[in-house]
């Protein structure tokens, strides 16, 4: 033993030197150094010399962590009291301690602590020789630590943490902040350590991490004993410990430096946590605070341990690898010289150890379940000789170890981890490196369990994470995955659990048992699911182990991989297509292995994997009527966004493609032409046109300039813009439409309870019908299904697709029909309605003007330009136009260009000129067309402001003519050729020819007709006057349409909604019968109950007419079946035997078959149905259809039922024009100003924006 004696002598000499410097009394405690016991779970030593053999009975206090209830107290007392040498034991739950009377010659406190630790608690000696110090030599030293606590949701969490932490011995004060998610604790470092506080908070079910802590100014006796046992060859594993010890030992050369870094690439809170947790654990880092808004990080570090460059590279090495760190000026070269200056400091490790050659190894660890596993591995491995640093990642299941290869090997590290109850395998070994230097990226060999070397990228020593692309391969090749016997499951019922610490206690300790692969404990259910290796351990042994922890456990079920089964009753299925639809949805769902649906019994049998999906999820899938519609709605949403970083003068410094889930409010997003706007936002820079048809239902794009709002899912038509996100995720307009559709489909009709009310008379009548049905149910059972099947088939032949029997039966009850405007009442595309030449100033004939204008507009992608080009080609009878140069388009104003080579087009055009009398001004005349030499024309086409910008004057006559057209809802544009104003073109969205006839026919049937549109009031009124609708709701949003439908339903009316756009889909789903136009969007078609394949509004009338016929046929079938039973049953029973009427059995069988056949034949008569043709409707409406004036139309804004007074009627109101409202106003997604100025000035969202309110017409 001479070597041990020398070590003890050296230790005593070192302790005397330290105590002499601190001027502490050594005489009282010096003998304690001769005999001491160390406890790894706490991290300090306590002397027990005072309890020598001379004392027959000794009394000591043991500190116990993890007790939650009296059951824990009783189990500890019962088990420890049975130990040999224990006289008595009293456990206090409130104080978290136990008073033990024992015989030191038989048992020691270390054995008691070990026995309590085996029960799942944490035990340490709270009273030893340190308690015998004189009070005058122990000043009350206090330190402060900040813990970041994740998982707090309410004030109850705060109170729970404060109350339990305050009871810990050594805790002076504690303050928990819910808003900051942190806890500030004042403690006595010679009684408790920050790691103990952190672990205790973790045991309560929260996630705690040490942010920073202030070291005490001097040490207590326990701290000095800890210094005596510290291995001088191993540096401390954490920066905070390094800081504390360096301050304590009088390290005058070290100081704390504050460095501010700029970090680009952060997107959310997880990025902040990633940086703070990993960088905060680096050697020398005292604290780090990251700001997502400012994109900066403030780091306090010891320059003797690390440098700014090392911090920069460590942050950039963190996953996912997209962080970019910028150092402040002058920081690049700092920190390199500081390291050598501290090499000779009293508290620093020897130079040959720190500056020596070290290696990094990556070890894959299986079996970790919580943060406690991470702490236990880090605490145990860091104490091994030769280990410089260890970082364990619970998420990745890996440990990165920095070690001295001359002292310890990776295989020894792996064996040490496996001795703790985990399964470990060496993944990679890096080349030798300097632990304080920067690691360069290099290739190393990965040694898997199979012995196959694989080249991978070297892992950063402080990252502590395994690359995602290698983790699956490593886990797949682990010994666990190569077992011959597949792992099994068992379920256990556990009683006695009271809080989250009980759950953590069971999971942590059970995971350490050999053969246990995973543990999942449910506190509320009182159950545990355990995966185990049947060759190593059995369920009864697992239950026994849980009982040893102080809980009651019993095996519920030995799980062998069987699937769950559920039988459901499904109502609402009408045909085989419903069965196929449900089965296909279920079988496509992950976790469902088998699904069978029976139409006859309305039952569904589903087999599923309970680990993946549950019964409630299956029910939701079956009830999800709108799944397809919602999927199509969500497909409109962009999947990625281009987030940019702006510098000075809004210059783009960096662009990055990120998933939509990472886009945050306030981010700057770049949208290129043709791309989708990923979020709702405001335009910061750029001008463009946006297609917002998903909200307003209009096909015309809307001008967007700085300050304008954009809608997620809309299309950017022209220029590239930068927008600032204002609504993201579930807050976007598109997400709200999805929510409206879902709520509308799942909501119940408010009047449905009327049909569910039962009264005595109805019950009596039902019982009588039941008697008849029992006698012969065949005919009654065929009465309704056969009529519905034939009715839906006849409807399909006539261009009406009816989805099931419910809408077919509902159509005849409709009392109100609500029409959308654009694409429903109108065609949805602009058309040229009138060309007006100014005869007094025009110098070119009409054909040449059309050729020049058509050539100019051919270069424009604007819908108005497309309409003008199409009209000119039709009038000229050619598909070839002239040559256009110097083309310029100004959004919201117009175009300008030069046109040439139009003479050849006119020469080859043989099409006669159409009659132009209606197109010419009364004062104008058609100039004679002359042959002219080829020439170039300078063309300007646009609104008033565009021509004024180019120096042209607009006369009052021309302005009045434009106003007349604009008041009728048309868009008027001016044409100037070679600097001369020569014409005006009126463009509008034409009303469908059958629209007025369909509206009149519905009104004659007693159905109220309403026009509801997102367009402005003037446009809506103009359309309503021409189709004969006297009630209009204008400037409404999709939610307003749903609310209006619900309002009418609450009044007891059955409502039908007719629409074609995405914005109509919520109202289509909410209405009693949703009717979609066949040329509409897929979302609207999916949400509707009826689809008009031929895009004919008269089919709305036909569907109601067919519904009446079908319902009437159903009633006839029921009456026939009931009459048959009513007459046939008495005859078959022999009631008429006295008069000689008796039926033989074969006659009854024939009569039964005849009844069924008669019902089927009656239903087949519906195949003779013919839809009323157009001539019949026109004949019925002849002499009754009259156009309305503007004063006869009641216009309501949004959900406001107050009528807006119409302007005074003009002579134009007495004439029904073929021309209709312009599409330019249909893109309005904002209400117009409720003032006379707005009414007179027009809609500010017109496509031809001119910047002045008094000239912004519809």
Return the closest-CA partner of residue 217 out of 189, 197, 237.
189
Return the closest-CA partner of residue 856 out of 882, 890, 893, 831.
882
- Beta strand 1008-1012 pairing with 816-819: parallel
Over the Cα atoms of the chain, what is R_g? 43
Contacts of 1173 (CB under 8 A, 6+ apart): none
CA 262 – CA 295 distance, rounded (Å): 6
Tell me which residue has tokens 């009446």. Answer: 1108
Helix segments in 596-638, DSSP class H: 615-623, 627-635
CA 802 – CA 307 distance, rounded (Å): 73
Q: What is the secondary structure of 21-59 as a DSSP string?
A: HHT---TTTGGGGGSEEEETTTTEEEE-TTS-TT-SSEE
Q: How far is CA 359 from CA 263, 518, 612, in A?
A: 29, 32, 42
Contacts of 628 (CB under 8 A, 6+ apart): 1086
Q: How far is CA 1067 from CA 58, 249, 426, 1041, 1060, in A?
A: 82, 76, 61, 6, 11
Count of beta carbons in the 10 Å neighbourhood of residue 1091: 21
Structure tokens at 129: 């020789």
Cα angle 706, 710, 713; round to 5: 150
Kind and range of the H or E run holding 1082: helix 1082-1087
Give me the sheet containing 592-598, strands edge to edge: 564-569, 603-608, 592-598
Contacts of 701 (CB under 8 A, 6+ apart): 689, 690, 691, 692, 717, 862, 863, 1227, 1247
Taking every pair of Cα atoms in the chain, the longest distance, rounded to a whole number of angstroms, is 136
Angle (deg, nearest 10), helices 733-746 and 1038-1050? 20
Kind and range of the H or E run holding 444: strand 443-447
Catalytic residues: 820
Kind and range of the H or E run holding 973: strand 971-977
Contacts of 954 (CB under 8 A, 6+ apart): 944, 947, 948, 974, 981
Angle (deg, nearest 10), helices 995-1004 and 1174-1181? 60
CA 896, 899, 902, 905: dihedral to nearest 10 degrees?
-70
Kind and range of the H or E run holding 1019: helix 1017-1027
CA 380 – CA 389 distance, rounded (Å): 12
Three-class DSSP category at 622: helix
Kindly report whether the peptide bond that precedes residue 320 is cis, defined as omega within 30 degrees of 0.
yes
Q: Are 1033 and 1198 contacting, i.e. CB atoms less than 8 angstroms apart? A: yes
Cα angle 733, 1222, 714; round to 5: 25
Burial class (CB in 10 A: 0-12, 13-18, 19+), 333: exposed
CA 710, 716, 717, 720: dihedral to nearest 10 degrees?
110
| DSSP E strand boundaries for 533-666 | 552-559, 564-569, 592-598, 603-608, 640-646, 652-659
């Amino acid at each position: 033993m001479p070597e041990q004696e020398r070590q003890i002598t050296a230790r005593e000499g070192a302790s005397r030197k330290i105590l002499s410097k601190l001027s502490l009394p050594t005489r009282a405690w010096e003998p304690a150094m001769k005999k001491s016991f160390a406890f790894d779970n706490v991290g300090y030593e306590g002397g027990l010399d005072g309890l020598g053999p001379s004392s027959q009975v000794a009394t000591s206090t043991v500190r116990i962590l993890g007790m939650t209830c009296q059951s824990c107290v009783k189990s500890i007392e019962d088990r420890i009291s049975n130990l040999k040498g224990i006289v008595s034991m009293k456990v206090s739950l409130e104080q978290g301690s136990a008073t033990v009377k024992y015989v030191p010659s038989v048992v020691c406190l270390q054995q008691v602590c070990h026995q309590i630790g085996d029960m799942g608690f944490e035990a340490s000696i709270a009273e030893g020789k340190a308690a015998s110090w004189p009070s005058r030599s122990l000043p009350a030293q206090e330190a402060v630590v900040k813990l970041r606590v994740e998982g707090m949701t309410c004030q109850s969490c705060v109170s729970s943490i404060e109350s339990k932490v305050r009871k810990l011995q050594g805790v002076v004060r504690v303050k928990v902040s819910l808003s900051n998610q942190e806890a500030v604790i004042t403690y006595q470092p010679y009684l408790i350590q920050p790691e103990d506080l952190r672990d205790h908070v973790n045991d309560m079910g929260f996630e705690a991490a040490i942010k920073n802590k202030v070291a005490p100014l001097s040490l207590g006796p326990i701290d000095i004993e800890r210094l005596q046992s510290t291995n001088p060859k191993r540096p401390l594993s954490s920066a905070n410990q390094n800081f504390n010890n360096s301050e304590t030992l009088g390290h005058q050369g070290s100081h704390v430096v504050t460095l501010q870094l700029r970090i680009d690439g952060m997107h959310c809170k997880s990025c902040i946590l990633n940086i703070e947790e990993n960088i905060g654990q680096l050697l020398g880092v005292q604290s780090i605070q990251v700001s997502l808004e400012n994109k900066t990080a403030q780091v306090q570090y010891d320059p003797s341990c690390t440098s700014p460059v090392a911090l920069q590279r460590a942050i950039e090495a963190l996953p996912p690898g997209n962080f970019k760190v910028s150092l402040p000026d002058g920081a690049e070269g700092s920190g390199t010289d500081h390291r050598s200056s501290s090499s000779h400091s009293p508290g620093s490790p020897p130079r040959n150890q720190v500056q020596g050659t070290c290696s990094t190894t990556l070890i894959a660890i299986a079996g970790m379940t919580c943060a406690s596993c991470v702490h236990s591995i880090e605490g145990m491995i860091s104490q091994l000789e030769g280990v410089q640093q260890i970082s364990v990642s619970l998420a990745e299941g890996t440990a990165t170890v920095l070690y001295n290869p001359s002292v310890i090997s990776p295989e020894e590290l792996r064996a040490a981890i496996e001795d703790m109850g985990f399964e470990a395998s060496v993944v990679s070994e890096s080349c030798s490196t300097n632990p304080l230097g920067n690691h360069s990226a290099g290739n190393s060999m990965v040694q898997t369990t199979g012995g196959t070397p694989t080249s991978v990228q070297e892992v950063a020593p402080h990252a502590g994470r395994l690359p995602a692309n290698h983790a699956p391969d490593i886990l797949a090749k682990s010994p666990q995955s190569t077992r011959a016997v597949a792992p099994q499951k068992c379920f256990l019922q556990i009683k006695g659990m009271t809080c989250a610490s009980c759950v953590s206690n069971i999971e942590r300790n059970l995971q350490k048992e050999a053969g246990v692969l995973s543990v999942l404990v449910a506190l509320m259910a009182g159950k545990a699911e355990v995966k185990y290796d049947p060759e190593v351990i059995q369920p009864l042994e697992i239950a026994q182990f849980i009982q040893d922890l102080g809980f009651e456990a019993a095996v519920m079920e030995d799980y062998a991989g069987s699937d769950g089964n559920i039988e459901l009753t499904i109502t609402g299925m009408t045909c085989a297509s419903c069965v196929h639809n449900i089965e296909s949805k279920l079988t496509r769902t992950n976790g469902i292995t088998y699904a069978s649906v029976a139409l006859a019994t309305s039952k569904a049998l589903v087999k599923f994997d309970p680990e993946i999906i549950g019964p409630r999820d299956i029910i939701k899938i079956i009830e999800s009527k709108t799944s397809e519609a919602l999927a199509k709605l969500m497909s409109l949403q962009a999947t990625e966004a281009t987030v940019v970083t702006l510098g000075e003068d809004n210059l783009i410094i960096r662009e990055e493609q990120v998933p939509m889930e990472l886009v945050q409010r306030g981010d700057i997003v770049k949208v290129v032409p043709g791309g989708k706007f990923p979020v709702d936002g405001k335009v910061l820079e750029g001008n463009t046109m946006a297609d917002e048809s998903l909200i307003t239902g209009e096909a015309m794009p809307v001008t967007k300039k700085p300050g304008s709002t954009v809608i997620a899912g809309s299309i950017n038509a022209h220029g590239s813009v930068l927008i600032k996100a204002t609504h993201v995720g579930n807050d976007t307009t598109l997400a709200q439409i999805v929510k409206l559709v879902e709520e509308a489909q799942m909501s119940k009709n408010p009047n449905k309870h009327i049909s569910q009310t039962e009264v005595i008379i109805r019950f009596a009548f039902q019982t009588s019908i039941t008697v008849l049905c029992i006698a012969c149910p065949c005919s009654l059972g065929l009465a309704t299904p056969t009529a519905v099947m034939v009715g839906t088939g006849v409807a399909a032949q006539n261009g009406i697709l009816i989805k099931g029997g419910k809408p077919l039966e509902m159509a005849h009850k409709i009392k109100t029909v609500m029409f959308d405007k654009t694409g429903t009442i109108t065609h949805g595309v602009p058309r040229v309605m009138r060309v007006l030449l100014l005869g007094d100033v025009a110098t070119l004939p009409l054909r040449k003007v059309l050729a020049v204008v058509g050539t100019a507009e051919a270069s424009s992608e604007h819908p108005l330009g497309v309409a003008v080009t199409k009209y000119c080609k039709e009038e000229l009878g050619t598909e070839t136009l002239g040559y256009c140069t110097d083309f310029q388009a100004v959004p919201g104003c117009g175009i300008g260009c030069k046109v040439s080579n139009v003479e050849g087009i006119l020469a080859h055009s043989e099409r006669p000129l159409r009659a132009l009398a209606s197109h010419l001004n009364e004062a104008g005349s058609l100039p004679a067309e002359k042959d002219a030499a080829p020439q170039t024309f300078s063309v300007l086409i646009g609104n008033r402001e565009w021509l004024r910008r180019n120096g042209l004057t607009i006369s009052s006559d021309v302005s009045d003519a434009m106003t007349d057209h604009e008041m009728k809802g048309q868009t008027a544009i001016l044409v100037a050729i070679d600097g001369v104003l020569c014409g005006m073109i009126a463009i509008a969205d034409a009303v469908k020819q059958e629209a007025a006839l369909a509206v009149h026919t519905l009104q004659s049937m007693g159905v109220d007709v309403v026009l509801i549109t997102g367009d402005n009031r003037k446009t809506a009124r103009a359309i309503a006057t021409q189709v004969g609708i006297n009630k209009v709701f204008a400037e409404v949003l999709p939610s307003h349409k749903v609310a209006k439908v619900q309002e009418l339903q609450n009044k007891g009316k059955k409502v039908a909604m007719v629409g074609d756009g995405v914005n109509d889909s919520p109202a289509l789903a909410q209405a009693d019968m949703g009717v979609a136009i066949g040329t509409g969007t897929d979302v609207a078609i999916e949400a509707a109950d009826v689809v008009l394949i031929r895009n004919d509004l008269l089919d709305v009338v036909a569907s109601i007419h067919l519904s009446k016929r079908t319902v009437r046929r159903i009633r006839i079938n029921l009456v026939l079946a009931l009459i048959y039973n009513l007459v046939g049953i008495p005859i078959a029973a022999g009631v008429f035997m006295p008069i000689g009427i008796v039926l033989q059995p074969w006659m009854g069988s024939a009569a039964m078959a005849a009844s069924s056949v008669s019902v089927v034949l009656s239903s087949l008569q519906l195949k003779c149905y013919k839809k009323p043709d157009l001539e019949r409707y026109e004949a019925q409406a002849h002499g009754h259809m009259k156009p309305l004036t503007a004063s006869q139309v009641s216009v309501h804004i949004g959900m406001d039922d107050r009528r807006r007074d119409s302007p005074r009627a003009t002579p134009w109101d007495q004439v029904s024009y073929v021309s209709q409202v312009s599409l330019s106003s249909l893109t309005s997604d904002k209400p117009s100003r409720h003032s006379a100025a707005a009414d007179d000035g027009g809609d500010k969202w017109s496509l031809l924006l001119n910047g002045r309110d008094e000239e912004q017409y519809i």
